[in-house]
Amino acid sequence: LYDYDITEIPGADNLHDAQGIIAQAQQKLAAIYHSDEAAILVNGTTTGIHSAILGSCAPGAQLLVPINCHRAVFGALGLGRIEAVFITPEIDKNLGFGRSISVATVHQALAKHPPIAGMILTNPSYYGTTSDLAQIAEILHEQGKFLIVDEAHGAHLRFSENLPQDALSAGADVVIQSTHKILGSLTQSSLLHIQGSRIDRQKIKSYLSLLQSSSPSYPLMISVEESVDAAHERGEAVFNMIEAAHREFCQNQNGQQAVTLYDGNGLANGYDRSKWLFQTRGITGTEVAARLSAEYGIQCEMSGDNYLLAMTGMGTSREDLVRITQAIGAINKTIRVDSTAEKEAKRHTQLWAGIDFTAAVQTEIPLWEALAWENRDQIVLEQAVGQLAGDFIIPYPPGIPVLLPGSRISPEKVVYLNDLLDQQVAVVGIDAKRTVTIIKKEPVIMEKNHQGQLIVIEGVDGSG
């Protein structure tokens, strides 16, 4: 690997001014994905998302943002002083995650907020669910607006007709993909694609040069090219095999078992069956994940109270899938699902169902002001009810914020976060002592009266 860790010597080209071998590689990658241009990323999909948003939205512009976007989206909003118009995805009633964004929701938001410049959308979701990208893109384009798609978990969709449609085929203007997640490039390497003329390509590329390292890693760049080459050559066979195994498992499972595989039923736009998402009853997903690791040598991506997620990719073999299906079958034989398990599953559903997640990410002061706020304090989570969060609060994975800097911390959200912590879910922004950062002194809100004089309408104590 060290043999390829060179710098911009003659013949090696320059990522930020590609005219030689890097330019040739990017042209090939664009041709494989059928985009107009492709840019290799060495600072991850996060940098691609930041550059796409900052290059498409001026300060003060409005961007349509589903609340189940990755933390990178909210970071871009803060960096660019961009106003989010939040929309809520359709929620899976059993597992509590955002499945998809409905076309009707997009229609309503655009009608209510005509100044919206465009939209960012995560597709597929971390759990493999999808939205109707083609119709959403058409709606936006009819009004002269752009669509950016965070396709971090979908770099493989292009290579199998048995999987949901990829974002570029659906008409997205900018698409960012984590080639390291499923295709197997080195961690931190990704791709950004641009097509059409609705966005300023040069501005996005200028931000890429600004935000990425000026000393890009050649091993990272090489790994992107090689992983996409491999997927282009063998991806269809690999992902068709994975999709068929997933479908077979779903057809053969008993719905009364403790651990069942999510099959995406009811999803009109298809389900990415490379994601093996299991729902659990009578045993927690965390316990199942621990058993899979200790007893079968299988490491899952994520787990929680009533679910666990196993990822597949270019390196997945038929033998791997046989192992996990046999392991789940063996674990199911040891677990008895009774009324207590059903009650616990219902309790968990009621817990997240009682939270207004859209309200939780609304900020009472602009996000960029909250990020720069100097007067902060650390207090125990239980005592933070009613306070304004001073930092992002993000369960990880999947990296979707549940509180933003400047968001009001509700009693329901404290219960929800404590429940996650009790399940040993990592929550960024809460330390080992369960303390959080808050904005210590809230701003004084001022407004002009009918005589044009500035008056205080709310002080730090909340009084009028």
Q: Give the pLDDT confidence of 242-293 residue by residue, as tens digits.
A: 999 999 999 999 888 999 999 987 787 899 999 999 999 999 999 999 999 9
Tell me phi and psi for residue 379, to 5 degrees: -135, 160
The whole-number pLDDT of residue 344 equals 61
4, 222 in Cβ contact below 8 A?
A: yes
39, 27 in Cβ contact below 8 A?
A: no
SS3 sequence of 409-446: CCHHHHHHHHHHHHCCCCEECECCCCEEEEECCCCCEE
The residue ranges of the chain whose pLDDT is under 70 are: 339-355, 441-464
d(CA 250, CA 262): 8
Neighbours of 318 (CB within 10 A): 12
d(CA 367, CA 360): 13
Q: Is the dihedral of CA 199, 200, 201, 205 positive or negative?
A: negative
The whole-number pLDDT of residue 346 equals 62
The whole-number pLDDT of residue 463 equals 38
Closest CA to 76 of 45, 60, 48, 54: 54
Q: Give the pLDDT confidence of 110-129 residue by residue, as tens digits.
A: 999 999 999 999 999 999 99
The whole-number pLDDT of residue 379 equals 95
d(CA 125, CA 136): 16
* Count of residues in the chain: 464
Show the tokens assigned to 333. Answer: 């034989």
Q: Is the dihedral of CA 427, 428, 433, 438 positive or negative?
A: negative
Show the tokens assigned to 324. Answer: 């996990």
**Integer CA distances (angstroms), 462 to 64, 384, 448, 459, in order:** 31, 16, 18, 5
d(CA 274, CA 153): 10
SS3 sequence of 37-71: EEEEECCHHHHHHHHHHHHHCCCCCEEEEECCCCH
DSSP E strands, 298-444: 302-303, 307-311, 376-380, 394-395, 427-428, 435-439
Write down the residue that tokens 């589903």 correspond to: 66
